[in-house]
Amino acid sequence: MRRAIALSLRAIRTNKGFPFGAVVVKEGEVVGEAHNTVLSENDPTAHAEVNAIRAACARLGDFSLEGCEIYASGEPCPMCLAAIYWARLDRIYYANRKEDAHRIGFSDDSFYSEILLPPRARRVPMSRVLGEEAHAAFVEWDGRPDKVTY
């Protein structure tokens, strides 16, 4: 966790991102680490946890991080939490709470509220388009004998 905290400080001291750091560990060894790089990369998805997951997956050569744990300097936001679940990390450790982040201007409350709403009631309009046409890719994938389960 101290490494994740140090990375959060690096993010702000180098003006590359917001004060968040994350470290992915497998069997006691760091396999991926990163800080938030939203500002330097102009990428709203470049949160510390997502960056650390990408680094760990690249190093391990696998999209699954089963057997790994993540240490985050802050409680993961909804996007990062989803990425952690998709990566199949075994455990999450965090330092600052979402309430702590809220006090310094980082609030995820609106995202949590939006997720609970049906698509038509969300702030950003959602419309289904060409569903039947797009379904062909799902049918083809489902029929592949060599498909990788996710």
pLDDT band at 120 (very low <50, low <70, confident <90, very high): confident
Closest to 23 (Cα-Cα) out of 90, 92, 77: 92
Closest to 47 (Cα-Cα) out of 103, 97, 106, 95: 106
Residue 129, SS3 per DSSP:
coil
Say yes or no to pLDDT of 102 above 90.
yes
Closest to 52 (Cα-Cα) out of 79, 74, 73, 34: 34
Catalytic residue among 33, 49, 66, 140: 49
pLDDT digits (tens, 9 = 90+) for 59-82: 999 999 999 999 999 999 999 999
Q: Which residues of 109-139 are buried (b: 16+ CB within 10 A; e: fewer)?
A: eeeeeeeeeeeeeeeeeeeeeeeeeeeeeee
What is the rounded distance in angstroms from the CA atom of residue 148 to the CA atom of residue 150? Answer: 6
pTM of the predicted structure, to 2 decimals: 0.92
pLDDT band at 149 (very low <50, low <70, confident <90, very high): confident
49 is catalytic: yes
Quote the pLDDT of residue 123. Answer: 92
